[in-house]
Every structure is written in structure tokens, then in C-alpha cells.
Structure 1
Amino acid sequence: MMFVSNLESIKLRLASTEEILDWSYGEVTKPETINYRTQRPEKDGLFCEAIFGPTKDYECYCGKYKKVRYRGVVCDKCGVEVTKASVRRERMGHIKLASPVSHIWFLKGVPTRIGIVLDISLQKVEEVIYFISYIIIDVNEEAKQEILEEIEDEYKTRVKAAKNEVKRIEKNEKKQEKLLKEKLDELKDAFKKAKDELASLTLFKVLSENEYHRLALKYGEVFEAGTGAETVKDLFEKMDLDQEIKVIEEDLKVKKSVSDQKSMLRRLKLLKSLRKSGVRPEWMFLDVLPVLPPDLRPMVQLDGGRYASSDLNDLYRRVINRNNRLKYLLEINAPDVIVRNEKRMLQEAVDALIDNKMRKGTTTQASTGGRRLLKSLADMLSGKQGRFRQNLLGKRVDYSGRSVIVVGPKLKLSECGIPKKMALELFKPFVIKKLLEKELAYNVKTASRLIEDEGDEVWASLEEVVKEKLVLLNRAPTLHRLGIQAFYPILIEGEAIQLHPLVCTAFNADFDGDQMAIHLPLSKNAQEESKQRMLSSKNLLKPATGDPIAIPTKDMVLGCYWLTKVIKKGKGEGKIFKDRKEALLAYNLGIIDIRAKIKIDKEGKLIETSAGRIIFNETLPEDFPYQNEIMNSKNIKKVIGKLIEDYNDGIVEILDNIKKLGFEWCTRSGITWGMVDLVTPKEKPGLIKEAEKKIKEVEGYYEEGLLSKDEKKTQVIEIWKNVKTEIEKLVPKYISEGPVYDIVDSGSRGSWSQPVQMAGMKGLVANPAGEIIELAIKDSYKEGLSVLGYFSSTHGARKGTADTALRTSMSGYLTRRLVDVAHDVI
């Protein structure tokens, strides 16, 4: 038996007909799969038990031999070997083709291997293989020389005859010369054409059908030509690789053009590689087609009695049907046209089986309706869902789960909420151990049954098991180290995983349907490593830059901003307090507004602050400098950076307190906004009128020829840019108070460009080529876009979406290649 550990290396190479027959356990001659009455495989069909092995362990097809004692016996009645049913995953069959066909990878792959061996282009090789053109397979040099001599003799005879004829017709010497020259030129051209035509008849030259028929009539005995894969295969069989290599090496010594040398070197490299690996070029053609084991292309019965079948069965069925029809046509000596067409169809059927996507224009589609492409053998191997990446390189992990994520605002930074049912499945072995320890069950079987019943004692045991254990959460794509972090699980009701809001930035997660995977580190060492290195509370800095990454965002920032913003003429403005406690007492008694400007004594000095700022500072350590400024995202980031630097131990609690404070005051602030909050500047119509006036002037200059088209476009764009800049300055002034200003100024969401587009004007947009369209969109979203403006803006929106998809796939592929290359290093 072959074990993976015994293998030193694996080499992929072409298989000869003998090797394919050696793999095979029998010939598949019928396209049938399963008998609709008996529900058993058809004999000699694609699921035949005599070829591929029994469908039931140690039982032949007819039932004569049953049980393991008859292992290895071949039934004399049905021909099935009594063995395990698992051999149906290993045993291959074969189809004996009535005519050889080419392997599509070596024909249409870039560069075309068959084309390189023949030294002709892909297009010409395809024409020969698909019976459109002919290829010269033999040239009789003696006959060629004889015909050349005959042509020369005929030319001399005709020249003599022409001279005599001219003398007879024309007596005037000058006219005689002119007429003779015309006649001789005509003969010379005809002679040259015939000579060149004959010289062009060389080995491997491709002729169109018309050329072939014309030249065959003239020089039938000089050359022999054929068409189809059979012809090219015969050529390859006769080819002596050593001789071909010798000829190319001799030719390379003679000076040739760079392109000729390049093609010769490419051909030489391929021929030497074939010789070195012991592969014959004719193996690129198939006389015998291997048939995949049936359990790798299964047919499954559905509830309604219908069958779901692998696409490969359809593709094999087409090959067998066409092959059987071709055999019949050859037996009855059908006309050449019909036989050739059937051979071409067989070639196309085999192409579709091997690689359906490689066939340009003529892909084979499913017969079940729709326009779905059938999955060929190559599709089963290639791509993300293929055998290599999905099964061989892909890893499936035990003790893992997956669910949608929701926000857990009450969680601590190092915690995550895990649904009880998910946790029970993840921690099952530990729960079983706990149940056995408590003597609630006496063996694994009864403990498993208790778990299935989900009794109170099971949930109690689960609570005990989960304590002090860590789980890993991962969100794909894992683009940096913080894509996987460790958390202490908190058991919750429901089906979704709860995630702490501060770790969302590191995971690049949001709560619009994102999913996350959960893994359980099993050993003590794994748990310890998770605690020391992967715990979310120990991964507060971004690995790339060292900046804080677990920082409040969105609602949390907005809450802190609103709380620490000082307003004019607030209740109790100007009041002076002895210390923070007195100020907070006054706020609690309703004497002052939380955002009113007040003064408090700070180390013998009076400082202007607000009750809100005092409340914010209560979340910070006592010895931390008093933060007497508005807490927008920038300032919060600065504060947290300083806290991480100086107060490493208590930082997690501080972060949780800031989060809690932010959410609370965002809720209590009641911040919201509507259309009324977006005020369009009064100056806008005047600015646009002035711009249009300037543009008219520019267009006038252009029409007079004072400006080129490009200069006109540049000036128009510049005018609109200036208008947009003016409006950008005006919009914040008009909405300097109110929720929109607070949301943007706090840095919790958006930027000023968005209110400018909503209340001011959309401005200039670019087309898909990246060029700025000179027709600016004058309207704002509040006013509503014109038809022209709407269509101009769709350009950018569509391009943005397409670019995002393309960029993501390209960067993902680059990452994959880098990881594959660095496998040995890691």
C-alpha cells in the first residue's frame, strides 16, 4: 500500500496507451448508467460493477457470492469481484476510441505543444485537428525533381514555340521584339509560379481544402496529405526525436533572424524535454480514454425518485455515444464526409470532457435547461473549489464553528458572547469529562445521551467547563495578525456570536451580516499561548504602525464629543465650584447644564470646563492629566495612545469605561438629523450664475480660435473647481450648529465632502477612463439631480464598484502566491 509519508517526490507526465490500459479494469462500451427499474448499474456501462467493483461490500452483482469469506472471488455468472465497495473510488475503466483524438491541453494550451513540435501556429494546428485544413505528411523528393525537370523542359519548349509564332505573325522587327517580350514575361511568371508552388510542398505544410484539391490534381504523386488528429498522430509516431534535435542544432549554427532562432530554440527545448522524460510526442493523442472511478462522479437518488448526477457522467455519455456511432459508420464504409464530421464531433466531445472552459465559443451546456456550463475534469481540479485547493490544501478543523456576529455592548474587552448550543458542541469532550467526574454519567455513551437531552446538569457543567477557557475568533479575510484573537467565552441565548465593539476595527468587522469562525484551543499549551499572545486585551496596537487600534469609533466617539462639547448660554454658565465633586453634585441637583461653561479650582488655579468634561475625566486614572478639551476621534486616539504607553495594567478597564460612557451619552443626547438640518447656502445661485457667465466667455474664445479644445476644457474645469471650493467653505458655516456638524466634526462618521454634496453641489465627476467630465453637476442631493447629472454620476459609481472587485481579487491572488512561495520559510 502507498503511504504519503513514503513519497519523496511526485512527477506528473503524459501516459502512454499501454499505461492507460494498465490502469483500467475493463472497457466501458455503453453510455447507460443505472437501470431505471432495478436501480442497479448497467453492465458495460459507466457504473458497471464488473469493471469498477461491487456497490455493496463483499457482494457480487447477482448475489451468488456474499460475505467476506469469498473475498477475491470473481463471480462466474456476473463477472464481479467480491471485495470492498470502496474500490469504486479507485478502479478506473477505459473507452477504446474508434479514431485518435488530441488532448486539448497540448493543443490549445499556450504555447501549443503540438504546434511547437510541428513548428506551425496554433490556428493552423487547430484547422488540421478539426478537419478544416490538410497537412503534408510525406513528400516524394524524386518525383518532385522529375516534375521540376519536366516543367523546365516544357518552359524551354514553350519559349522556342513562342519565338517561332511571333516571327510568323509579325514581320516588323520592333513590334516583333515587343510582342516576344510580353510572351516571354508571361511564360517566365507562369514558370516561376509553378516552380515556387512545387518548392513549397514541404513536410508539415498546412494547406486549405481548396489548395489541397488543386495541388493534388497537379502534383498528386509528389506529396501525400491528411487531416484530423489521426494524421498528426501518425506523423508523431514516425518522428525520430534524436534526428530532429540534430537537425535543429545544425540549423542553429547557420545565421538566422532573431524570430527564427527563438522559435527553433523553443522547439529544441521541448523536444529535448520529451527525450529526457522518456515521453513520446504521440502520447499527446488519445487512442484510449481513461474513465474516472464511479464514486468520484456519483449519481445520487433524490427524494422524488429522480437522480442528481455529476456533470462528468453527461460528458462521458456524449463521448461513448459518438464513439459508438463512429464505429458503426466505419463498419458500414460510410461516405468520407460523414465519417470526418463524426470524427470531429468525437474530438469535440473529448475536448469538453477534459476541459470545457478551454473550448472557445463551443462550450457544452447542461441538458437540464438553463445555460450552465458542464464541469469537466479540469474544472474538478482547478480553482478555489477544485481538488487541490479545496481538498488537498484546504483544511477542515474539528472543534470549530461559524455564525453571524452581533454587537455585544455590555461585554468586557477580553470577552465574546457564544450561543449556548454552539458552546455545548465545541466543549463536548470537556462536558462529558465533567459529567463523569460528577458521577452524573458512568460512561461516554450515557454522557453523550445526557448532552443530547440538554438537561440542567449539562448546562451547569458547561458553565464550569467554560470558565477560564479561551476561544479564538477569526474573520475572513485574515489580512493581518489581528484577524484572529482570543476571548473568554460568555454563554448567551440565541444563535449569533456577540463581539465587543472595540475589536471591530482590528477584524474590519461590521454588523450587517458578517460571519465569524470560532476555534477552541484544546491543549494546556495552546490555551496558555492564546492567553499570553492572542488575548484581545493584549492586542491593542496595530502591528503595521504601532498606533492604537482598539479605540472607540462612531456612536462612542459621538457620545464623548457631545458630552465634552461646551455650549453657549447653558444653564448655570459662569458658576464657580471648589472641585469636581461639587460641580457634579450641582449637575445632579439640576443647578447646572452638563455642557454649560463653568469654572473649577484645579491646583490653586481656576479653569474653564464643563460638568460633561469632568464626567469624562472620571473614567481616566486619577494621576492622568486633566483632559480639558472636546473629545473628538483625534483627541480620543491621542488619550488612548498615552494611556497604553503609561498605564498598561488598567487600560482594558479604562477602555471599557470610555466605551460605556460613549454609548450612554450618545443615547441620552438624542442626536438625529433630517433634511431641515442640511441648509443650502444662499450665495449658491449667484456663484453658479457667475460661473456660467465665465464659461460662456471661454466658449466664445474657443469659437474664435483663441483657445484649443484642451485649453478650453482645462479652463472650464478650473471655473467649476473654484465654485465648488467656495461652496465647500460656505456649507460648514450654514450648518455650524446642529447634529450634522457634530457628527462630522467629532470624526464619528463621514467628512465635510458629504454634507457639501448633500446641501451644496455635487460638482465635477470623472468618466470610467479617469478623465474629468467638464459638465459639472450643479445640483445637490437635497435639491435632486437633473437627468444629465444623474447619468454623469452613475459613471463613477459603476467604475468604483468594478474597481473594488478587481482590486480585491488581484491583491488576494498576489497574497496567495506570496504565501505559496514562502511555505518553506514559514
Structure 2
Amino acid sequence: MGKEQFREADKALKVVGVKFAPGDCEFMRQTAHVPVFNNKLYEDVGGKLQPAAYGPLDPKMGVSTKTGLCATCGLGLTDCVGHFGYFDLDVPVFHIGFFKLTIQLLQCICKNCSSILLTAEQHRVFSRQVMNPNIDYLHRKALHKRIVAACKKGSTCQQCGMKNGTVKKAVGTVLKIAFASPVPADELGKYATMFTVNQEVGEHVRKMKFTLLNPLFVQKLFANIKEADIPVLMVRSGEEKHPNDLLLTRMPVPPVCIRPSVVSEVKSGTTEDDVTMKLMEIMLTNDVLKKHKRDGAPSKTLFETWEHLQIQCALYINSEMSGLPADMQPKKAMRAFTQRLKGKQGRFRGNLCGKRVDFSGRTVISPDPNLRIDQVGVPIHVAMTLTFPEIVNKSNIEKMRQLVINGSDIHPGANYLVDKKTGNKKLLKYGKREELAKNLRYGDTVERHLDDNDVVLFNRQPSLHKISIMSHRAKVMPGRTFRFNECACTPYNADFDGDEMNLHLPQTYEAKAEASELMNVKNNLITPRSGEPLVAAIQDFITGGYLLTHKDTFLPRAEVYRFAAALIDASAKKQTKIRIPPPAILRPVELWTGKQLIELIIRPDKGSQVSLNLTTKNKSYSGNLEFCNKDSYVIIRNSVLLAGCLDKSLLGSSSKVNIFYMLMRDYGEDAAVDAMWRLARMAPVFLSNRGFSIGIGDVRPSEKLLQEKGQLVDKGYEQCAQFIKELEEGKLKAQPGCTEEETLEAIILRELSTIRDHAGQVCLRNLSKYNAPLTMAVCGSKGSFINISQMIACVGQQAISGHRPPDGFEERSLPHFERKKKTPEAKGFVANSFYSGLTPTEFFFHTMGGREGLVDTAVKTAETGYMQRRLVKCLEVIQLLIYIYIIKLFRISVLLMMELFGLPDGLDPSMMEAKDGSVVDFAHVLVHAKNIQTKKDKPIPVINSMSFENRVDKQFHETEQKLEKQFWCKNWKRTNHLLAWISWLTKPTASKFPYSCVTIKSQEAITRAQGTGSWVRLLATSIG
């Protein structure tokens, strides 16, 4: 049965907080069920080993085996939560967790009479501050720090007049406290007899500066602290505790189930948990100490055993204690309670914040451009393992009966049936399924297989931002990998070189609804970081779109129909008619341009209302608007591409002039993802038909290119030789802040770096426009001009830490060169290309640069991961503070609270439409409105002898300036005036812009703005 969603049953029993405080001896005794005084783990009962009674594994504290029963509650391992035990220590020891606090308390009290080292006035002031019930944790911590500092300054006790020295942790020891207290001269007479017997002892006592405070002495001091001083010393926090509780006199023994014994199947015997072994060791040491006290052992032996007990009790809590003497070091590393809680594998980070969960799958990912952008292909094997608990009702009972009959081996089927009345769970792999299906009743739960269109969560690790996990619709498919459309790769940072991803199936209807509304791919096309689209076309799709829209791309009818057929969705319930535009050339043969097919991607359906209007420059724009000789000025009018080639800036992510981004703003997410899917279907078909591959011929340099490259390298070498000669002759002028050697390195590095850039320009001039690497670099789908230059012309200067390779050998970078040689080839310049091949020395230099890149990547990954974790932890605190602040403001004023929603300027980056960061792209709105108006053949009125177009242009600029100057600061004011301007634009019969006519209330305006989802959509809807 699926996990039930948590629901609050009783408000009175709601957990409001968790508080940690030292447990006193009486609390430990009351909580425990059994005293533990037997240090043996097992005892022989009738020839069979059984857990020893009153020992660390006593069955009264619970069981760790599946078959055993608890002697206290009579339940098994799955139901018994375990019971605590306890044992008494013969002498008190310091608690490692409270050791620092113990030292601070000793710094605050007199070591003679236990009075607090504060004046009466200080005591009164601090008491009043401590009793404040509203003081929070951070202020309480700061107050405690001030009290300790004040007590350190007052070294003389106000009660007994004793002068107190400093108290600190004894250097070079473990869990020992040193007290600076030299023996006063007037008290040396007490030791006169001893001094006469042993002169060395007298000398030692006179020189003594520090006294060690043992736990027994500290316990007596704490016991004498006055009740009135305790709240000030401990700084009150709810339930008050006595300072004596900071020392350990009684040890709790945890339940057996959290320290289970592992029974070996290979050999007889058991393997005990680290905590159990440490408990046994502490009890043995405690028994030895009792024996020494009873037998009157020498004080040295007694104190050594006491110290050993102290260290064992500390290792029981924290096994990674530093500074232990060699003879007390643990033989092997053990996991104490601290190690169970802290770190990446600890309870909090390993088992609470992130954990292994049920109803999830993980496998390798593969690309599938045929799937919708928000779909994920799930292997049938995974679909038959993951289940959803479907509750039987009137509308689905017939379907559920069929699933029960199918069972667990046929998809779609079901794995389990849960009876509503009894709660019994029946496996559907065996048994009479037809009979079970016949007896199915409303309210029963059928754990059915994952099926098509189920909402699933898809995640790739590392999850660095919220869109690393999104919800998709499942599509059950054959095969063994998860498949999804490549357009959704960017937010996951996924590629298909062996990456694995996780799939989670939500187990409640509420979780499914939340996932589909909040985490759906369609609702997360835009990154909240900058408002740019992240889900967009990549690689092959961009290359296909670019080649398709070239001026020389002409297609016959058969190919056009083939591309159009690729846009038919076989799984759609209702098929739509695809309208082919008329051919661009009629005679001697009908031909369509590739640009015409873009209309099929944006708006294939004849009845579609999608009308995209866009004017922008692409990556290669060189000037002269639509007459650009590179065809790089893109004009789209009413979804028809009139001019320009589509490249990464129009099809890819991180661009606000992307056609999918514009579609999303104007017509919603569905129009954008549908267009993206149509491009993903058409581009591979076009590329497979046309052919697009890269071979050795694409990187073979021509004779002319080799000649120009040789001239460039020779000229660069001559320049470098000239600089080296100037240095040797003392003519080289040093740059500010640099020596002559450093100046030479900087000049040569700059000179050699330009060679590769110039070689790249030579490549571009000599390559054919049909060259595949060049095509990819120009359209932005993959690679760069530098990659092409390195493959064909020249790899260039290798840099390590921003400098030429340093001298790894005596006065030279490699042993292949003469000493003190600074020529380009001796200092990491690779004149060859990857096509011509590198010489051995060039290969070494290139390896140096590559190694640095790999190390940088590895180090940066670790550093950024840790930095992100720290940042998230900081932001959690800030989020809590903002939440508290909002709650406080809510009590003052709802209006003030409204101002806090959003960033300091009140704007959401994901809703900023224009490239310059403006909320609304006014220029696009205007162009879009004009073209829709013209398309619908509405008459354009002439008012006051001024054409509507000119009037709109003029009014638009005036309005934009006024908005920027006057109303940019307040969100609701901007909303009002924008709506008023849009209403004027749709009804341009008013005599002037109706600033004085704005009567929309702020809340109504905000509601309308939120309801539209986009200003552009609102405008288009109003006009339409």
C-alpha cells in the first residue's frame, strides 16, 4: 500500500519544537528499564550461549534479531522500539560534550566558596536580562559570552576574598582542567615537616603555578553553587538544569536494537557493535577502579585507572578525539554517537536530508526527439515494478478489475490488492485473480503499474538548482533506458555519454497535483536566475534549423510532405490538418524554400491563432538590416519567416529573442513546447535526408592556408627573437611593477596568443561555407572558431596558471632544450595543428595544459559543491528570519507585508520580458499589436490628421518615458498605467492617453495581471 500523506489529527498534540538539555541522574534512572552491572555479554545456559542478564545485551532492553522477543514489552524487532538501561560510575568524569561549558562555569565561580565572581550590581543587571522570556538563542549565546567575560575580569571573590587565577584546558593533556593557583607564602608553613624530609618536594611546591582540577573537586564546587546564581551561570532557557548535570556519574545504556549483534553464518559467534564493545570496556574499567579503591591501591594506580575511565567515556561519545596518548589510542577506528550523527554519511545529511527511497528507479538515459518535451520514456521493466495506489471508485472499477486480472506479469497490470476493511495485502502474482477482481469493492486499493501519462519526477544529480528535478509525463516503452527529448537537457545539465538519472513516482493524488502544477517542465521553461529560457533547442536541432533556413535551401514537394508528415502526432486523440504553404517557385518545377517550413514549426494547423511577430539580429549579423550579406537579420511576421537564418540566438537557450520564448510570452507554454517538439521532429528528418557529418576532409588545410599560417608563425617568431635580443642587450623597457624578465614573458605571451587568433581568421577565410565544423561554430550548435583553428592551423601557446610553462628542469622547461632558452618552441608554443600532428616536445607542453585543466575541473567541482552547501545553509537561516519578519509585519499592516514579496525592487526575474531587464518589452508588444491588427484587416482610423501608426509610435515613447521617470518604483502603480495604456491602444479613439481616467484599484490590477500571465498575452487577447 502506498504511503499515506501526513495529516494533522489533533491541533493540541502538534509538535512545536525540540529542546536539548543535559539529562540528570534521576532522569536516566526513571527512563531506564533495567540497571546494568554485569560486564559479560553472554553466559552459558544449559550448553547454549544466551545474552547475559543485567549485561549490555540483556533482552529487557530489546532485541536485535528477527526471531527474538523483548523481555520488557514482549514485541518483536519490527514493533519494539527498545528500552534504555543504566549503570553507575564509581567516580564522576567530565562529559566531552559539556567540557567547554564546564571550564566556562569554573571561570565564573570562586574555587573556594563557589560564589559567582560578579559584583552585586552586575549580578542584578544580568539576572534581569536572563529572565527575559522573549530572548532568542543568538541573543542568549551573546549574553552568556558577556557574563563569562565579566566574571574573568572580577578575579577577587566578593564573598570570601580569595584571589582566583585563570582556569583553562591543560595543555598537552586530554580532558584535564588547569587552575593557576600558586601556594601562598603564608601557607608554606603547613608543609614544613615534609620539606625537611624531602628537599626536592619543597622546591617543586614553591615553583608550582598550576593545579589540576579533578572531576570530584569540580563536582563539590558545583554542588555548593547558590540557587540564585544558577540561572545567571547557565543562562536560563526554559527548564533550568543544575551544573552538576554537566558531569557524568551515571551512564545511559542505549537499546539493543540501535547496536545490533551480527550473527555470523560462516563461523560460530557474533560480531558486536562498536557501542556495545565500548560499553563493556567502560564497565570493566569501572570495576577495576572499584577493586583498587576497595583494596587500597597506590594513588598513582588509582589516578591512572580514573584517567583511563575518563578517556573511555569520552570515546564512547566521540571516537575522533585528538591528543590521546599512544597507549590509549583505539586499536581500530570505531563509530561513536558523534560519528553516527555528523558528516555526509550521518543521520542528518545521510538519512534525513537525503536518503534512499521506495518507488524510485535509476538507469542510463538516452535521447529520443520523438517524445514530447514534457515526456519521459520509461522501460517496461521499471513500469511493472513502480506502482501507484489507486483507490477503487465508481468511475474506475472496471479498469481496476482488468488490471487485477492482468496481475503483475502483464503490463498494464497490478502487483498488490489491499482490502479496505481488513487492510490485508494480497500479492497478485499468484492466486485466483479473476475471483479477486469479481469481489473488488469501492474503497479497496489496487497498487497498479506505472502507466502512460502518469506524473513522475525526473532528477539528475548533482541537484544544483530547483530545475534539476522536474515532473514529466511517463511514456512506457521497450528497452532498458530512460528516454527524453534533448531540449530538456540544459536544466539537468545532462548528456548521453553514460549519465544516469532518477525517476520517482508520487504516491498520493495531492503529490501528483502539486508536481504537475509546480514542477512540470512546461511551467519551468524560464530560469528564475535571469528570466531567460533554459528548455530550448540544442545541437542537432539548431544545426538543422540553421541549414533549413539558408537562402539556397530548396525542397521539392515530396520532401516537404515528408517533413510535414514528421509533425503528425500518432498518439494525439484528435488529428489536425497540416496546411502546406504555396510553393515559392512554380516553374519549371515546384520548389519550397526552407524558410517556408518554419511556419509549419510555429503554426502548422490552419485554424491555429498563433501569430508570432519578431524582428532581431542573429549571431552573425554584420550590418545593413535585412540586406545583411550573411542573411543574419531575422524578420518573422504572423508566423512566416521573411528573412534571416535561425541560429542559436533564435532557437537555443539563454536568449530572450528566442522564438520559443516569444511564443511562450505571447501564447503560453503549450504553444512554446509544441513548437519545440515540432522542430525536434523536423530537424533530424531534414539532416538525415540532407546528410551532415564531419570527416578528416573537413579539417584538411589547403596549400594557401598552410602558406599564410607559415608566414604568421615566422613573423611571430621573429618578433619574439627581437624581444629576447633586446633583453640580452639591456634595451627592453620594464613595465610598471615588473622586472625585465617578467616584462619579456608578458610581451611574448601576448604576441604568441595573437598568432592562434590570426590563424583562426585565416581558416575562416579559406574554408568552404559547407564545412561542417564551420557550420556548427557559426550557428552556435557546438564548438567555436578556436577549435577549428586548433584542428586545422595551429594549436597555439600552452598556458599554465596564465603564464608560459615554468622551468621544470634546471633553467629549462624540458630537457630537450638548451639552458636559459626563451624561444617560443622552448616555452610551450605548439605551431602544429591536430591535423598535422604534434612533435614530442609539443605533446609534452600540450599535456601540461591538459593536466592543469583536469585538476582545475576536479578542484572547482569540490569547492563549488561545498560553497553551495554553505550558501544553502546560510539562506535557510535568512529564509527563517524573513518568515519571522513577515509574521511580525503582518500583525502591523497587511500593506507593509505585501512590499516584502519579491526582490528588493519588487520584480521577479522570470517575468522580466525585455533583454535590458525591463518588465515589458514595449517594442515587441507594439510590433505584435500592429501586425495582428493588419492581419485581421481592421480599419486603421485617422485621428487629428495623424495616422494611427504614427500616433501609437509617438504615444508609446511618451508613455515609456513617463513610466520610467514617475512610476517605476511601485509595482501596483506600474500595473495600473500599463493596463490603461493597453486599453487605449486597443481603443485608439480617445483624444489623449487616459492618465486621469485610471480608476482601477491596485488589488484588482494585480489580480488581472496575474490572471493573464503575460502582458503580451493580455494585449493580444484584448485586440483579438
So what's the TM-score if we normalise by structure 2? 0.57
Instruction: Name the SS of the counterpart of 2:428 in structure 1.
Output: helix
Contact (CA 8 Å) 1:241, 1:271: kept in 2 or not? no
Contact (CA 8 Å) 1:405, 1:497: kept in 2 or not? yes
Q: Distance between the aligned counterparts of 1:275 and 1:656, measured in 2?
A: 60
Q: Distance between the aligned counterparts of 2:716 and 2:322, measured in 1?
A: 57
Contact (CA 8 Å) 1:130, 1:228: kept in 2 or not? no
Contact (CA 8 Å) 2:366, 2:484: kept in 1 or not? yes
Q: Distance between the aligned counterparts of 1:469 and 1:359, measured in 2?
A: 54
Contact (CA 8 Å) 1:57, 1:83: kept in 2 or not? no
Note closer, same or farther for the CA distance 1:715–1:114 as it changes in structure 2 (3 Å cut): farther
Q: 2:478 is matched with which residue: 493, 497, 503?
A: 493
Correspondence for 2:682: 661
The reply on whether 1:346 has 2:309 as its aligned counterpart is yes
Q: 1:380 is matched with which residue: 330, 340, 355?
A: 340
Contact (CA 8 Å) 1:431, 1:458: kept in 2 or not? no
Q: 1:28 is matched with which residue: 14, 30, 36?
A: 36
| CA-CA distance at 1:685 after TM superposition | 3.9
Q: Distance between the aligned counterparts of 2:719 and 2:12, measured in 1?
A: 76
| CA-CA distance at 1:99 after TM superposition | 3.5
| CA-CA distance at 1:377 after TM superposition | 0.6
- How big is the alpha-carbon RMSD for the aligned residues of Structure 1 and Structure 2? 5.1
The answer for unaligned runs of 5 or more in structure 1 is: 61-79, 151-210, 246-268, 568-572, 589-599
1:98-113 correspondence runs (5 A): 98-107=90-99
Q: 1:693 is matched with which residue: 721, 729, 733?
A: 721
Q: Distance between the aligned counterparts of 1:720 and 1:502, measured in 2?
A: 40
Contact (CA 8 Å) 1:556, 1:666: kept in 2 or not? no
| CA-CA distance at 1:108 after TM superposition | 5.7
Note closer, same or farther for the CA distance 1:715–1:818 as it changes in structure 2 (3 Å cut): same
Q: Distance between the aligned counterparts of 1:671 and 1:614, measured in 2?
A: 25
Correspondence for 2:913: none
- The one-letter code of the counterpart of 2:85 is G
| CA-CA distance at 1:673 after TM superposition | 4.2
Note closer, same or farther for the CA distance 1:798–1:526 as it changes in structure 2 (3 Å cut): closer
Q: 1:798 is matched with which residue: 846, 849, 855?
A: 855
The reply on whether 1:89 has 2:117 as its aligned counterpart is no
Correspondence for 2:868: 811
Contact (CA 8 Å) 1:559, 1:667: kept in 2 or not? no
1:202-217 correspondence runs (5 A): 217=205
| CA-CA distance at 1:343 after TM superposition | 2.8
Note closer, same or farther for the CA distance 1:491–1:678 as it changes in structure 2 (3 Å cut): same
Q: Distance between the aligned counterparts of 2:21 and 2:598, measured in 1?
A: 71
Contact (CA 8 Å) 2:173, 2:323: kept in 1 or not? no
Correspondence for 2:383: 423
| CA-CA distance at 1:285 after TM superposition | 2.2
Deviations 1:760-805 (A, max 9, x none): 34535353xx888678531268326454664465345423421221
Instruction: Name the SS of the counterpart of 1:671 in structure 2.
Output: coil
Q: Distance between the aligned counterparts of 1:564 and 1:688, measured in 2?
A: 41
Q: Distance between the aligned counterparts of 2:773 and 2:436, measured in 1?
A: 52
Q: Distance between the aligned counterparts of 1:564 and 1:498, measured in 2?
A: 29
| CA-CA distance at 1:447 after TM superposition | 9.6
Q: 1:672 is matched with which residue: 676, 688, 694?
A: 694
Note closer, same or farther for the CA distance 1:755–1:352 as it changes in structure 2 (3 Å cut): farther
Contact (CA 8 Å) 1:417, 1:497: kept in 2 or not? yes
Note closer, same or farther for the CA distance 1:216–1:279 as it changes in structure 2 (3 Å cut): farther
The reply on whether 1:729 has 2:780 as its aligned counterpart is no
1:593-742 correspondence runs (5 A): 612-613=594-595, 618-621=600-603, 623-626=638-641, 628-637=643-652, 638-646=658-666, 648=668, 650-667=671-688, 669-674=691-696, 677=699, 681-683=709-711, 685-697=713-725, 699-700=727-728, 709-710=738-739, 712-734=741-763, 736-737=767-768, 738-742=771-775
Q: Distance between the aligned counterparts of 1:652 and 1:361, measured in 2?
A: 64
| CA-CA distance at 1:239 after TM superposition | 4.8
Correspondence for 2:320: 357
Q: 1:46 is matched with which residue: 56, 74, 95?
A: 56
Correspondence for 1:63: none
Correspondence for 1:304: 266
Correspondence for 1:316: 279
Of residues 725-734 and 37-46 in structure 1, the stretch that sits farther from structure 2 once superposed is: 37-46
Q: Distance between the aligned counterparts of 1:631 and 1:466, measured in 2?
A: 38
Note closer, same or farther for the CA distance 1:745–1:125 as it changes in structure 2 (3 Å cut): same
Contact (CA 8 Å) 2:35, 2:86: kept in 1 or not? yes
Contact (CA 8 Å) 1:134, 1:212: kept in 2 or not? no
Q: Distance between the aligned counterparts of 1:790 and 1:95, measured in 2?
A: 64
Note closer, same or farther for the CA distance 1:409–1:458 as it changes in structure 2 (3 Å cut): farther
Q: 2:248 is matched with which residue: 268, 278, 286?
A: 286
Instruction: Name the SS of the counterpart of 1:504 in structure 2.
Output: helix
Q: Distance between the aligned counterparts of 1:4 and 1:710, measured in 2?
A: 77
Q: Distance between the aligned counterparts of 1:716 and 1:756, measured in 2?
A: 24
Correspondence for 1:195: none
- The one-letter code of the counterpart of 1:359 is S
Instruction: Name the SS of the counterpart of 1:357 in structure 2.
Output: coil
Contact (CA 8 Å) 1:757, 1:781: kept in 2 or not? yes
Deviations 1:684-727 (A, max 9, x none): 54255235314424543669997775464144223312321231
Contact (CA 8 Å) 2:103, 2:169: kept in 1 or not? no
| CA-CA distance at 1:742 after TM superposition | 2.7
Note closer, same or farther for the CA distance 1:497–1:352 as it changes in structure 2 (3 Å cut): same
Deviations 1:223-272 (A, max 9, x none): 994454444444444455867x9xxxxxxxxxxxxxxxxxxxxxxx9725
| CA-CA distance at 1:353 after TM superposition | 1.6
Of residues 775-784 and 50-59 in structure 1, the stretch that sits farther from structure 2 once superposed is: 50-59
Deviations 1:440-490 (A, max 9, x none): 66975799543569999999x999983554333344455545344333321
| CA-CA distance at 1:659 after TM superposition | 1.0
Note closer, same or farther for the CA distance 1:302–1:674 as it changes in structure 2 (3 Å cut): farther
Note closer, same or farther for the CA distance 1:336–1:272 as it changes in structure 2 (3 Å cut): closer
| CA-CA distance at 1:335 after TM superposition | 3.8
Q: 1:16 is matched with which residue: 19, 24, 42?
A: 24
| CA-CA distance at 1:498 after TM superposition | 2.0
Deviations 1:722-747 (A, max 9, x none): 32123112125326343332332232
Note closer, same or farther for the CA distance 1:378–1:538 as it changes in structure 2 (3 Å cut): closer
Instruction: Name the SS of the counterpart of 2:777 in structure 1.
Output: helix
Correspondence for 1:510: 495
Correspondence for 2:1002: none
Contact (CA 8 Å) 1:107, 1:115: kept in 2 or not? no
Correspondence for 2:619: none
| CA-CA distance at 1:415 after TM superposition | 2.0
Correspondence for 2:170: 125
So what's the TM-score if we normalise by structure 1? 0.68
Instruction: Name the SS of the counterpart of 1:287 in structure 2.
Output: strand
- The one-letter code of the counterpart of 1:315 is K
- The one-letter code of the counterpart of 2:754 is T
Q: Distance between the aligned counterparts of 1:395 and 1:613, measured in 2?
A: 51
Instruction: Name the SS of the counterpart of 1:550 in structure 2.
Output: coil
Correspondence for 1:168: none
Q: Distance between the aligned counterparts of 1:381 and 1:790, measured in 2?
A: 44
Correspondence for 1:74: none
Note closer, same or farther for the CA distance 1:643–1:357 as it changes in structure 2 (3 Å cut): same
Q: Distance between the aligned counterparts of 1:645 and 1:357, measured in 2?
A: 57
Of residues 118-127 and 502-511 in structure 1, the stretch that sits farther from structure 2 once superposed is: 118-127
Contact (CA 8 Å) 2:91, 2:249: kept in 1 or not? yes
The answer for unaligned runs of 5 or more in structure 2 is: 1-9, 112-151, 153-164, 193-198, 408-416, 438-445, 564-581, 605-637, 653-657, 808-826, 885-1024
- The one-letter code of the counterpart of 1:471 is V
Q: Distance between the aligned counterparts of 2:696 and 2:538, measured in 1?
A: 22
Q: How many pairs are equivalent?
A: 686
Deviations 1:154-212 (A, max 9, x none): xxxxxxxxxxxxxxxxxxxxxxxxxxxxxxxxxxxxxxxxxxxxxxxxxxxxxxxxx99
Q: Distance between the aligned counterparts of 1:493 and 1:360, measured in 2?
A: 60
